Structure 1
Amino acid sequence: MDTYTFATSRQIDFPVYIRINTLEGKQTPVPYSVLLKHPEIRHVGSVQSSTSELYVTAQLWAESKPLGVSIQTPHMFFKNSRTWNKWLELPVLVKDCPISSQIAITVWDLSACPANGSLDHTVPYGGTTITLFDNDGALRKGRQKCRVYRNRAADGQIPSSTPHIPRPKRRKRNQEPSSPLPEQEELERLEQLFKKHEMNEIPQNDWLDQLVFQSVGKKAREVDEASRKRSAVRKIAKRKAAQKNATGSGNGAANPPDNSDEESESDDELDDGEQFTLYVDFPRWDFPVVFEDHEYQPSKLMREFQATASVSAIGNNKPPPEVRYGPGIAAGNSIVDDEDYPVIQIFDPEQFQKENPCETKHRRLVRSDRNAYSDADQKPNAKLRDELNEILSYGPTQDLSPQEKDVVWTFRRYLSRDKRALVKVVKATDWSNPSEVRQMADLIPRWAKIDIDSALELLGPTYDSPVVRAYAVDRLRQADDAELLLYLLQLVQALKFEKYDIKEEGLPPSSLARFLIDRAAKNFILGNYLHWFLMVECDDEGPDTNAANRKLFARVEYHFMVELEKRDPEQRKTLLRQAEMVAILSRISKEIRFSRTNRLSKIESLKKYLADPKNELIKIDPPIPLSLDPEIEVSGVYPDEAGVFKSSLSPLLIHFKVANSPSNAATSTSTQPRGQSQSQSQSQGKYPIIFKTGDDLRQDQLVIQIITLMNNLLLKENLDLKLTPYRILATSPSAGAVQFIPSTPISAVSAKYKGSVLAYLRANNPDSSGPLGVRKETMDTYIRSCAGYCVITYILGVGDRHLDNLLLQPSGHFFHIDFGFILGRDPKPFAPLIKLCKEMVEGLGGTTSPQYAQFKQYCFTAYTALRKSSSLVLNLFSLMVQSSVQDIRLVEEQMGTIGGAVGKVRERFHLDVSEEEAVRLLDQVLADSVNAVFGVVIDRLHEFVQGWRA
Structure 2
Amino acid sequence: MTDTAKMQSPRYCYVYSCELEEKLQIKIGSLEGHGFMQDNFASVSDDSRSLACADLAITCHVVSTTRQLTLPVQTSYRAFTNRLNWQEWLTLPIAYSHLPVDAELIFSICGLSKTGEQFVCGTTSIPLFNKYKVYQNGMQELRVILTVEAESGVVDTCEDIATINLLSELTKKHRDGRIQKVDWLDRLTFREIEQINEHQKRVSKQTYLMVEFPQVFYKEAKMDIVYFEIGGEEVVLHNSTPAKAMFHDSNLSMSNLVEDKHHKLARTLRSGTTDKDLKPDNATRDLLHNIVSSPPTTSLSSEEQDLLWKYRYFLSSQKMALTKFLKCVNWQNRQESREALELMQKWEPINVEDSLELLSPIFQERAVRQYAVGRLMQADDEELLLYLLQLVQAVRYESVDDIKSSVAETAVTSGVTQNVLDEALIDVEDDITALQITEPEDPADIQNDLISSIELPKAGEMNIVSFLIYRASNNLVLASYLYWYLRVESEESPAQSHTSNEVFSIFLKRFMDSLRRYNANFYRKILSQQVFMDKLLALIHMVATARVDRKKKIEKLQSLLADTETFGKDFSFTSFEPFPFPLDPTRLVKAVVPDNAYLFKSAVCPAKLTLVTTLEERYTVIFKQRDDLRQDQLVLQMVFLMDKFLRKENLDLKLTPYRVLATGSKHGFIEFVASQAVAEIQESDGSIHNYLKKHAPAADNPLGISKEVMDNYIRSCAGYCVITYLLGVGDRHLDNLMLTPSGCLFHIDFGYILGHDPKPMPPPMKLTKEMVDAMGGPGSEHYKTFTDLCFSAFFHLRRSANLILNLFSLMVDANIPDIVLEPDKTVKKVQDKFLLTLSDEEAAKEMQGLLEASVSALLPAIAETFHKLAQYVRK
Distance 1:413 1:738, change over 3 A: same
User: Following TM superposition, by how much is the alpha carbon of 1:920 offset from its aligned partner in structure 2, in angstroms?
Assistant: 1.3
Amino acid at match of 2:598: G
Kindly indicate whether the alpha-carbon contact (under 8 Å) linking 1:142 and 1:199 is maintained by their aligned counterparts in 2: no
* Aligned-pair CA distance for 1:943: 1.1
- Partner residue of 1:522 out of 460, 468, 474: 474
Amino acid across the alignment from 2:290:
E
- 2:248 corresponds, among 345, 356, 372, to 345
CA offsets, 1:94-147, max 9 Å, x none? 6599xxxxxxxxxxxxxxxxxxxxxxxxxxxxxxxxxxxxxx99547599xxxx
Q: Distance in 1 between matches of 2:173 and 2:315?
A: 96
1:533 aligns with 2:485: yes
* Structure 2 residue 662 is the aligned partner of structure 1 residue 737: no
Match 2:757 to one of 806, 823, 826: 826
| 1:582 aligned residue | 533
Structure 2 matches for 1:279-294, cutoff 5 A? none
Task: Find the residue that maps to 1:581 and give its secondary structure.
Answer: helix
Q: 1:3 to 1:632 in 2, by over 3 A?
A: farther
**Deviations 1:448-494 (Å, cap 9, x if unpaired)?**
01012220111111111112111111000001100000000000001
CA contact (8 A) 1:457 1:875 kept: yes
SS of equivalent to 2:323? helix
Shift in Å, 1:416: 0.5
Is 1:562 aligned to residue 513 of structure 2? yes
For 2:177 and 2:744, locate their aligned partners in 1 and report how far apart those are by CA, in whole Å.
91
Quote the residue 1:211 is aligned against.
Answer: 174
1:613 maps to a residue whose letter is T
Which amino acid is the alignment partner of residue 511 of structure 1?
Answer: N
User: Are the aligned partners of 2:653 and 2:715 in contact in 1 as well (CA < 8 Å)?
Assistant: yes
The 1-side partners of 2:582 and 2:488 are apart by: 13
Q: 628, 631, 634: which is aligned to 2:583? A: 628
User: What residue number does 1:328 align with?
Assistant: none
Quick one: which amino acid aligns to residue 838 of structure 1?
K
Q: 1:441: how far off?
A: 1.3
* Residue identity in the other structure for 2:714: I
CA deviation profile, 1:222-247 (whole Å, cap 9, x unmatched): xxxxxxxxxxxxxxxxxxxxxxxxxx
Q: 1:598, 1:490 → 2: CA distance?
A: 41
Q: In structure 2, do the counterparts of structure 1 residues 385 and 607 end up closer, same or farther at CA, with 3 Å as the change threshold?
A: same
Q: How do residues 12-27 of structure 1 correspond to structure 2 at under 5 angstroms?
A: none
Specify which of 265, 276, 301 is matched with residue 401 of structure 1: 301
Letter in 1 for 2:588: E
Equivalent residue for 2:795? 864
Q: Spell out, residue by residue over 1:220-271, the C-alpha distance to the aligned partner (whole angstroms, 9 max, x if none).
A: xxxxxxxxxxxxxxxxxxxxxxxxxxxxxxxxxxxxxxxxxxxxxxxxxxxx
- In 2: Cα distance, 1:410 partner to 1:285 partner: 81
User: Which residue of the other structure, out of 714, 731, 741, is the alignment partner of 1:783?
Assistant: 714
- Distance change >3 Å, CA 344–CA 922, structure 1 → 2: closer
- CA-to-partner distance for each residue in 1:286-317, whole Å, 9 max, x for gaps? 99999xxxxxxxxxxxxxxxxxxxxxxxxxxx
- Flag the 1:702–1:196 CA change in 2: closer, same or farther, 3 A: closer
CA–CA separation in structure 2 for the residues paired with 1:500 and 1:603: 47
Q: Which amino acid aligns with 1:526?
A: L
Counterpart-to-counterpart distance in 1, 2:863 and 2:579: 45
1:772 aligns with 2:703: yes
Alignment of 1:927 onto 2:852: yes
Q: Which residue of 2 aligns with 1:383?
A: 283
DSSP 3-state at the match of 1:613? coil
1:686 and 2:588 correspond? no
Per the TM alignment, residue 93 of structure 1 is displaced from its structure 2 partner at its CA by 11
Identify the match of residue 425 of structure 1 among 295, 313, 325: 325
For residues 776 and 340 of structure 2, the distance between their equivalents in structure 1, rounded to whole angstroms, comes to: 60
Please give the per-residue CA displacement for 1:54-93, whole angstroms capped at 9, x wherever unaligned: xxxxxxxxxxxxxxxxxxxxxxxxxxxxxxxxxxxxxx99
TM-score by length of 1: 0.63
In 2, the alpha carbon distance for the partners of 1:140 and 1:841 equals 55
Counterpart mapping for 1:703-722 below 5 A: 703-722=635-654
Residue deviations 1:312-343, cap 9 Å, x none? xxxxxxxxxxxxxxxxxxxxxxxxxxx99998
Distance across 2 between alignment mates of 1:487 and 1:868: 18
Q: Which residue of 2 aligns with 1:270?
A: none
Equivalence map 1:85-124=2 (5 Å): none
The alignment partner of 1:822 has SS state of: coil
1:470–1:511: 8 Å Cα contact kept in structure 2?
Answer: yes
**Alpha-carbon spacing, 1:572–1:217, altered in 2? closer, same or farther (3 Å):** farther
SS in 2 for 1:904: helix
Contact 2:390 2:811 in 1 (8 A): yes
Shift of 1:376: 2.1
Query: Structure 1 residue 808: deviation in Å?
Result: 0.3
Which whole-Å CA distance do the structure 1 matches of 2:483 and 2:245 have between them? 66
Residue 487 (structure 1) aligns with: 387
Distance 1:752 1:197 in 2: 63
Shift of 1:568: 0.9
Counterpart contact for 2:135–2:227, Cα < 8 Å: no
Between the two proteins, the alignment pairs up a number of residues equal to 632
Secondary structure of residue in 1 paired with 2:637:
helix
CA distance in 1, matches of 2:270, 2:100: 64
Cα contact 2:64–2:102 (8 A) shared by 1? no
C-alpha distance in structure 1 between counterparts of 2:741 and 2:314, whole Å = 58
Instruction: Report the equivalent of 2:35.
Output: none
Q: Taking structure 1 as reference, are residues 430 and 201 closer, same or farther at Cα in structure 2, changes over 3 Å only?
A: farther
Q: Is 2:829 the counterpart of 1:904?
A: yes
CA distance in 2: counterparts of 1:763 and 1:96, whole angstroms: 63
1:928 & 1:408 partners in 2: Cα distance? 42
Give the residue type in structure 2 aligned to 1:872.
L
After superposition, the Cα gap between the structure-2 partners of 1:657 and 1:208, relative to the gap in structure 1 and judged at 3 Å, is: same
Instruction: Describe the SS at the equivalent of 1:501.
Output: helix
Q: Against the structure 1 CA distance between its residues 492 and 207, is the aligned structure 2 distance closer, same or farther, given a 3 Å change threshold? A: closer
- Compute the displacement of 1:360 (Å): 3.1
What is the rounded CA distance, in whole Å, between the counterparts of 2:396 and 2:226 in structure 1? 53
Looking at structure 2, the residues matched to 907 and 490 of structure 1 have their Cα atoms a distance apart, in angstroms, of 21
Secondary structure of the 1:773 match is coil
The 8 Å contact of residues 423 and 458 in structure 1, kept in 2 or not, is answered as yes
Question: 8 Å contact 1:654–1:691 — kept in the other structure?
Answer: yes
Q: Is the partner of 1:506 in helix, strand or coil?
A: helix
Counterparts of 1:39-438 in structure 2, within 5 Å, are 139=102, 196=134, 199-200=137-138, 211=174, 215=178, 344-346=247-249, 356=256, 358-438=258-338
Q: Does 1:472 align with 2:372?
A: yes
Q: Within 2, Cα distance between the matches of 1:831 and 1:192?
A: 48
Q: 1:708 touches 1:725 (CA, 8 Å); kept in 2? A: yes
Q: Could you tell me which of 506, 512, 524 is aligned with 2:408?
A: 506
Equivalent-residue separation in structure 2 for 1:285 and 1:583 (angstroms) = 71
Deviation, 1:596, is 2.0
Q: Which moved more, 1:365-374 or 1:731-740?
A: 365-374
Q: In 1, Cα distance between the equivalents of 2:629 and 2:827?
A: 21
* Residue pair 2:639, 2:723 contacting (<8 A) in 1 also: yes
Shift of 1:386: 1.5
Residue type at the aligned position of 1:345: H
TM-superposition CA deviations, 1:382-438 (whole Å, max 9, x none): 221121112111111111111111111001011110001101111111111111100
SS at match of 2:277: coil
Question: Are 1:944 and 2:846 an aligned pair?
Answer: no
The 1:374–1:211 alpha-carbon spacing in structure 2 relative to 1, beyond 3 Å, is: same
- 1:907–1:210 distance in 2 versus 1, CA, 3 Å: closer
The aligned amino acid for 2:320 is: R
Looking at structure 2, the residues matched to 741 and 852 of structure 1 have their Cα atoms a distance apart, in angstroms, of 27
- Counterparts of 1:646 and 1:573, CA distance in 2: 36
* Alpha-carbon distance in 1 for matches of 2:395, 2:261: 35
Distance 1:841 1:142, change over 3 A: closer
Paired with 1:289 and 1:653, the residues of 2 have a C-alpha distance of 65
CA contact (8 A) 1:637 1:656 kept: yes
The TM-score with structure 2 as length reference comes to 0.68
**Amino acid corresponding to residue 585 of structure 2 in structure 1:** P
Q: State the secondary structure of the residue aligned to 1:458.
A: helix
Q: Could you tell me which amino acid in structure 1 is paired with residue 335 of structure 2? A: S
